[in-house]
Amino acid sequence: MGVPVQGAAPGVASRHQSRLLTLLRDEGPLSRVELGERLELPRARLATELGRLAEVRLVESGGPAASRGGRRSTLVELATDLRFLAVDVGATSIGVAVTDARCEVLAHQSQECDVRQGPTTVLDRVAALAEQVMAEVPGRLVAAGVGLPGPVSFREGMPVAPPIMPGWDRFPVRDRLAGRWGCPVAVDNDVNVMALGERHAGVARSLDDLVFVKVGTGIGCGILLGGRVYRGVAGTAGDIGHIRLDDYGPACACGEVGCLEAYFGGAALARDALTLARSGRSAHLAEVLARQGTLTARDVGVAAASGDFASINLVREGGRRLGHVVASLVSFINPGMVVIGGGVALLGHQLLAEVRSSVYRRSMPLATGNLPIVLSELGDLAGVVGASWLATEHAFAVHRG
């Protein structure tokens, strides 16, 4: 029953403290001299602020720093026993990680879980999994971050009208989990979280303006502008999965027709794979279907990688459609990088080639000249790394009262 990670609610009392913690998270141990320089803080003031952070055991001394001539300075680092819970709820799986304060994953477990089971069942399973993972790496739990596969009201910490999450509409995810774990919880859309993960520790390190396109069961994108998640007026910015490509296209889970997701989401790929297998156009998929009794988007990826012509075509056609949407997005936003991730990123380099070709052909040279379009570096871990980052961001902010 006992959660081995103890809840702590350390107080970050000033903007200086908040900036110190953020700097130590993003850059690792730094000497007192370096910290003073970076924050332009006089030595006495720095000592006071660090003293307060040490009192609440958020930072600790890390031994002598490398000499830069003159007196040796002392290294400061984030307390090594701080723990953050990072939860990645997908359409068909849940993942839970425990990280340190630098968002390094110390333990991680995931399991299949259908989000359509509803919030009570899914969050119970998340909590059970979290208990197991926390047992692996004891420490002081500070905060938790959660990514959900649908639109989220960040301010209220709950999903709002999520198309593929029946029963979750306005369910108070943040407050339920905060009550259970006794620590602050931040909840966001999974694509925003994955974008933050790639920016903190993945392929987009230190980039301020980027777009993370997730192709999984759903399709969506997270937009970072100036290093921050851009959400739009109603929180729906980046919702590209339901851009309508054709007024007479296939039906979508959202209730409309012809959405990008209805062509190239996980369910659409599985549907098209079944057609290919049953119609005899793909002997490869027919064989897999006979063996498994069912087909998934993953099977299409494997078949395409092994040279199955019909599967390659499916990936290409989907990539072309996705590419058209990404090309528009590049024209609008003119980002510094496009990262493609999510389960269907399995489709890998064939998908990437198709998207690149669409974007480079369809957007203005000035917008694409220095634009890398790349696959996620963190892969399955993008969600939990980003969720951990979200949790640290919340914990290291100054809160009133």
- The distance of closest approach from Cβ of residue 370 to a second copy in the complex, given in angstroms and rounded to an integer, is 7
Q: Which of 98/237 has CB closer to a second copy?
A: 237
Is residue 218 near a second copy by the rule CB under 8 A? Answer: no
- Using CB under 8 A as the criterion, what x/- string covers residues 228-257 for binding a second copy? --xxxxxxxxxxx-xxx--x------x---
- The distance of closest approach from Cβ of residue 151 to a second copy in the complex, given in angstroms and rounded to an integer, is 7
Stretch 303-322 residues interacting with a second copy (CB under 8 A): none
Stretch 133-152 residues interacting with a second copy (CB under 8 A): 151
Is residue 214 near a second copy by the rule CB under 8 A? Answer: no
Q: Which of 271/320 has CB closer to a second copy?
A: 320
Q: Which of 148, 327, 355, 395 binds a second copy (CB under 8 A)?
A: 327
Q: Which of 266/335 has CB closer to a second copy?
A: 335
CB 224 within 8 A of CB 286: no
Is residue 335 near a second copy by the rule CB under 8 A? Answer: yes
Q: Which two tokens stand for residue 382?
A: 């993008």
Q: Which of 285, 297, 314, 325 binds a second copy (CB under 8 A)?
A: 325
CB 217 within 8 A of CB 254: no
Q: Which of 139/162 has CB closer to a second copy?
A: 162
Q: Which of 233/290 has CB closer to a second copy?
A: 233
Q: Which of 70/369 has CB closer to a second copy?
A: 369
- The distance of closest approach from Cβ of residue 365 to a second copy in the complex, given in angstroms and rounded to an integer, is 8
Region binding a second copy by CB under 8 A among candidate stretches 63-71, 80-88, 332-340, 380-388: 332-340
CB 53 within 8 A of CB 13: no
Q: Which of 225/397 has CB closer to a second copy?
A: 225
Phi first, then psi: give them for residue 42, nearest 5 degrees: -65, 155
Closest to 82 in 3D by CA, of 392, 297, 307, 393: 392
Is residue 119 near a second copy by the rule CB under 8 A? Answer: no
Q: How far apart are CA 177 and CA 105, in angstroms?
A: 20
Is residue 336 near a second copy by the rule CB under 8 A? Answer: yes
Q: Which of 109, 121, 331, 350 binds a second copy (CB under 8 A)?
A: 331
Q: Which two tokens stand for residue 71?
A: 């007196």
- The distance of closest approach from Cβ of residue 174 to a second copy in the complex, given in angstroms and rounded to an integer, is 19
Q: Which of 9, 47, 364, 398 binds a second copy (CB under 8 A)?
A: 364
- Distance between first and last Cα of the chain: 32
Q: Count of alpha carbons within 13 Å of 332, Cβ hemisphere only?
A: 13
- Using CB under 8 A as the criterion, what x/- string covers residues 366-385 for binding a second copy? xx-xx---------------
Is residue 161 near a second copy by the rule CB under 8 A? Answer: yes
Residues in the site for a second copy, rule: CB under 8 A?
Answer: 151, 160-161, 209, 221, 223, 225, 230-240, 242-244, 247, 254, 325, 327-329, 331-336, 361-367, 369-370
